[in-house]
Amino acid sequence: MTRLHLLAILGGLLIGGSVTMLLRRGQLQYRYAVLWLAMVATTAPFAVRPSLLDSLASWLGIADPPNLLFFIGLVGVIALVSLLTSELSRAQSRLHDLARAHALLEERVRRQEEAQEERTSR
């Protein structure tokens, strides 16, 4: 077992551990945590057993095994980012709905308060 090997395993554990911690503290929602953990789960076997990467790469016909790793990572990141942008759009449109509803409610409350003031002052 080389030092690099150890480092890779440690890195995987660190990411998995911090995601779990964020989840437990309630700072990360379950559905996003699942994505991160899925990414860790797909890459972890390669950290534990680097030869796995070589055999998978040769089976897929990829000449340079590390490229497979980059490819997996890139796909994971793209998936995460596209999910985040669509979630952001949804959150944004909900925020806009709330803002509009707020504007209408505020006007209604103001009008009723004015009507009430008029009644009490009479």
Is 104 one of the binding residues for other proteins (CB under 8 A)?
yes
Choose the binding region for other proteins from 2-10, 14-22, 67-75, 104-112 (rule: CB under 8 A). Answer: 104-112
Among 25, 31, 51, 99, binds other proteins (CB under 8 A): 99
We find the least distance from the C-beta atom of residue 119 to other proteins, in angstroms, to be 20
Residues whose CB falls within 8 Å of the CB of residue 67, separated by 6 or more in sequence, listed in order? 57
How far, in whole angstroms, is CA 23 from its chain's centroid? Answer: 11
Q: How far is CA 17 from CA 14, 22, 57, 81, in A?
A: 5, 9, 28, 21
By beta-carbon proximity to other proteins, the closer residue of 13 and 95 is 95
Half-sphere exposure for 122 (CA within 13 Å, toward CB): 6
We find the least distance from the C-beta atom of residue 27 to other proteins, in angstroms, to be 25
Interface positions with other proteins (CB under 8 A) = 96, 99-100, 102-104, 106-107
